């Protein structure tokens, strides 16, 4: 089955810096890659997703890039703010009714 | 975005009792819903896929007789933890895809249920 590796497990940055979280996946058939943000004790919230027919997607300060050949995708957050502090999860699925496989998460801490 | 609700948000029960958790899609129909368990500082672990009108599909290592799933309608799935024990204490979260049965993509999560078994 699919295996998703996520790095780093923790990431500390200063406010205004950029943050990058990287994930790799094992199943070349995977074609859907969402990113979720989870604050302590709350539900994971979808922040951005990308499908395998595109290489990059942007939404304001958040962007995701996908390299299908290398089987990795990354989350980029620019101009980080303290409210960006949370745990971020990447995930992958092969679409249809296949399930999402999650990475282990990255705790992002943005210091003022 | 789509709204998924869960009830209760937290529950404390005695060892040996059963607990039912409800997951509802409020503004869309979901023929499929997913149940996850999340231990502190860990990732989401898929427990089972709930299918409206048919049996749930359980992930390897998840006891189907202990975690009973019923998908009663296109907007409601329930998870019953039977004969709960302290090791079942966890954060249980459901999710539902918004594609109306076409795809498992774009899942939206419920707010989760914190279960504590004494």
Task: Give per-residue pLDDT as tens, B54-111.
Answer: 899 999 999 999 999 999 899 999 999 999 999 999 999 999 987 654 555 678 899 9
Asked if A96 lies within 8 A of B104 by C-beta distance, the reply is: yes
The per-residue pLDDT for range B3-46, each reduced to its tens digit, is: 899 999 999 999 999 999 999 999 888 888 999 999 998 999 99
Q: Where are the alpha helices (DSSP H) in chain B?
A: none
Distance CA A26, CA A101 (A): 11
Decide if B104 and A43 are in contact by the 8 Å CB cutoff: no
Radius of gyration for chain A, computed over Cα atoms and rounded to the nearest angstrom: 13
Tokens of B63: 């006891």
φ, ψ of residue B66 to 5 degrees: the values are: -90, -35
Can you say whether the dihedral through the CA atoms of B23, B27, B33, B37 is positive or negative?
A: negative
Secondary structure tally for chain A: helices H, strands E: 0, 11
Q: Does A34 touch chain B (CB under 8 A)?
A: yes
Closest by CA position to B107, among listed B26, B4, B20 = B4
Distance from CA of B28 to the nearest CA of A (A): 17
Q: What is the pLDDT of residue B100?
A: 52
**Mean of the per-residue pLDDT values for chain A?**
94
Nearest CA in chain B to A44: B109
Residue A53, φ and ψ in degrees, nearest 5:
-90, 0
Q: What pLDDT does residue B99 have?
A: 67
Which of B32, B44, B104 lies closest to A89 in CB terms?
Answer: B44
Quote the tokens at residue A112. 């003022």
Q: Is the pLDDT of residue A12 over 80?
A: yes
Q: Tokens for B99?
A: 């594609």
Q: Is A2 on the interface with B (CB under 8 A)?
A: no
pLDDT at A53: 81
């Amino acid at each position: 089955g699919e295996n998703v590796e996520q790095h780093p497990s923790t990431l500390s940055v200063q406010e205004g810096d950029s943050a990058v979280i990287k994930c790799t996946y094992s199943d070349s058939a995977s074609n859907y890659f969402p990113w979720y943000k989870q604050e302590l004790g709350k539900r994971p919230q979808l922040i951005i997703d990308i499908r395998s027919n595109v290489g990059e997607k942007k939404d304001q300060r958040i962007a995701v890039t996908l390299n299908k050949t290398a089987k990795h995708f990354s989350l980029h957050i620019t101009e980080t703010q303290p409210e960006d502090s949370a745990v971020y999860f990447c995930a992958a699925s092969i679409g249809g009714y296949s399930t999402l496989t999650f990475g282990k998460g990255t705790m992002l801490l943005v210091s003022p | 975005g789509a709204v998924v609700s869960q009830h209760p948000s937290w529950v404390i029960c005695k060892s040996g009792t059963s607990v039912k958790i409800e997951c509802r899609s409020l503004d869309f129909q979901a023929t499929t819903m997913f149940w996850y368990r999340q231990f502190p500082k860990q990732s989401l672990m898929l427990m089972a896929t709930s299918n409206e009108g048919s049996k749930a599909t359980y992930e390897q290592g998840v006891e189907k007789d202990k975690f009973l799933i019923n998908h009663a309608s296109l907007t409601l799935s329930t998870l019953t933890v039977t004969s709960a024990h302290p090791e079942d204490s966890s954060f249980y979260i459901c999710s539902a895809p918004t594609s109306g049965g076409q795809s498992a993509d774009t899942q939206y999560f419920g707010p989760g249920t914190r279960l504590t078994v004494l």
